[in-house]
Amino acid sequence: MKSSNTVWHHATVTRARREELNLHKGAIIWFTGLSGSGKSTLAHAVEERLHQATCRTFVLDGDNVRHGLCADLGFSDEARTENIRRVGEAAKLFVEAGIVVLTAFISPFEGDRERVRKLAGADDFIEIYCRCPLEVCEQRDVKGLYKRARAGEISHFTGISSPYEPPYAPDLTVETSLLSLDESVGAVLALLAQRKVINLMEAVT
């Protein structure tokens, strides 16, 4: 609920001026997919390449955010929706700062992702679907979560006891079980250049 006693303050340092200083645009790069699909790995690898190209970046990672901003939330459908709402609001602030913010969240519900898209604006929201078969994600299971979920030790686990709604029209689908990490990074960078967020030549050198 918005307070009726607050008034938006318009700063003299605008987003356009920040982007001019940064020499690139701000944007939300939203990685979605099952646990173990490679979202965080890809997000951080893309960030590394962008950082080397002197882009201003930040990764909002699902696990890390739940240690602070969303530490009070569980994993019910309602809590997941609130988790994504908060992340969307935080990501929008980064965009206003002219920063490329990369988010790695399962974000299982299409409606939640669409709300962030509307919040940010379609031009600033780039949805990347890290598509990976459930069986491959389970084989990876680097955190041992699938094994615990199968044993009934974790409830509301996406892909096992809670649904995942794949994006119906993502800006990019990355087949993380088939492509190498370098190939996946290249596909993301090419899209960012196509969307004029970055200069591709600077990001690949």
CA distance 190 to 178: 18
CA distance 77 to 70: 14
User: Quick check: 201 pLDDT over 60?
Assistant: no
Contact, 130 vs 38, CB < 8 A? yes
107 catalytic per annotation:
yes
Sorting pLDDT into bands at 50, 70 and 90, what band is 11? confident
Sorting pLDDT into bands at 50, 70 and 90, what band is 30? very high
CA distance 159 to 81: 17
Predicted pLDDT of residue 142:
81
Let me know the angle formed at the C-alpha of 47 by 59 and 67, rounded to the nearest 5 degrees.
20
Predicted pLDDT of residue 6:
73
> What value does the mean pLDDT take over residues 197-202?
73
For the chain, domains (ranges, CATH) are: 27-204 (3.40.50.300)
* Active-site annotation holder among 107, 155, 180, 184: 107
Side chain identity at 89, as an amino acid letter?
E
User: Quick check: 2 pLDDT over 80?
Assistant: no
Percent of the chain at pLDDT exceeding 70: 94
The tokens 């002219």 sit on which residue?
A: 98
What would the pLDDT profile of 81-139 be if each residue is shown by its tens digit? 999 999 999 999 999 999 999 999 999 999 999 999 999 999 999 999 999 999 999 99
